[in-house]
Chains A and B, each alone.
Chain A
Amino acid sequence: MVKDWAYLAGLKPDEVPPLQAMIKYVRETHDTRPIEQFNQGLEDRIKAGDPSVTKSEDIMTTVGLQECIKLMVNASTTRWRYMGVGTGTTAAAIANTALATEGGTRQDMSVNGWREAIGMKLAFGAIWPELAGMNSIKEIGIFNAASGPSMMNREVFANNSLSRTAGRNVFILSVVVEFCPIA
């Protein structure tokens, strides 16, 4: 079984420099402990009732799983690199091949985020700067191209989305794909 979930957080601009430093460190060292600490921090903030953090537990798509298996058997070399966002709220399904209403430009996680293997999990993350793209995020997906297919997963924040005022907040999105829940 492959389980998939995502965190969406709205940060103030002064919270961004340390986060960018963390991302740079992870990219350079592939030490994934800061990602796990960051995700745990978001989980704690949700439990504490922080309205600037939200979570979705939706699903990996069939196409996404097939693309992962192609990478596993060396039938493809195109890796998951981009995160896209949108405003669609239709329920996520394994048959989804695109976001319902994608908007803005996909973020390159190799530049503005992370993509790492942590044990039996995959971890992806991306920052949406103050003036970049969408000001309301209701769905997200991981892609292996800057536009078009394929989409690995779809996470919908239909009733728990976040909005921001352009220029005042930064969005950070963190996605976890777990292949087996063994610590």
Chain B
Amino acid sequence: MMKMSQLLEPLPMDRQTELMLQYGPKDTCWAATWGEHDEPLLKKYFEKAALPGSEDNATIIEFFDCLERRWNDHAASLTLQNGKNLAVVDIAKTEDIVTIQGLQYLCNLVISSGLPFFRYHGAGSSTIEPRAYQQRLYGEIEPRADMTVGAQGSITRVGTAIRAIGIFPTSFPTITVRESAIFTNVTGYTAGTMLNRQVFSSSPISHTVNGGPFTLATDITFTPVTIYG
């Protein structure tokens, strides 16, 4: 019989997860809550962000810089063209993992045309530790944010990184956001592929329905090497 202390120990890490963490792309996610009345401004910000295009977009870079400044305990806000400010209320950050299936699918996207691409950002509340072989969020609450719609986020290239942002509206059901992922499909797990899984185990953010929107912002950075260091 297992002792209680054994049950509370973290899951043993499999070899594939170890390799993905060591050699795979670096996967970082920020979860942020925004002010109660900020949803229209946030949507407007990303509708404007879509205009400069999907490469090295200064508005997207500014958004991620803002999240990182806030994470580092500095006051951080986004200023809109009309002079109004958008301020982060609460923030969480984690560095977790791209899945095996997700990275394989990215390779297919490089080679093959006509495949569905990663356009949906999902949120959940499970604390199950992330592993490279996982193919779902374990406490997901839908709907997922469609990042190709300006008011719901964006997915772009910045440098050698994929930067994906999902905006979850004020009306999204109450949730403690402890997990995040990017998907090819709009709902469920019977079809499609999950690109990554992020878990905010120690510092989740809390969202209350009608209490303000929240965002999930993911950066997946690739680095070329001649040898694995």
- A residues lining the B interface (CB < 8 Å): 1-4, 57-62, 64-66, 68-75, 77, 79-80, 94, 115-122, 179-182
Contact = CB atoms under 8 A, between A and B. Distances in A.
B117 A182 contact: no
5 closest Cβ contacts across the A-B interface? Answer: A117-B107, A60-B224, A75-B54, A180-B24, A69-B157
Interface residues on chain B, size class: 35 or more
Given A2-B222, A72-B106, A180-B103, 13 more contacts: A1-B23, A1-B225, A65-B160, A66-B160, A69-B162, A72-B109, A72-B117, A73-B117, A116-B111, A117-B104, A119-B107, A121-B107, A180-B20
Given A180-B23, A182-B19, A182-B20, A2 B223 contact: yes
Q: Is the interface of A mostly helix, strand, loop or mixed?
A: mixed
B107 A73 contact: no
Contacts of A79: 110-111, 113
B67 to A, nearest CB: 19
Contact of B23 (A64, A74, A117, A181): A181
B165 to A, nearest CB: 12
Nearest to B112: A117
A118 B19 CA distance: 18
A2 B160 CA distance: 11
A69 B224 contact: no
B28 interface: no
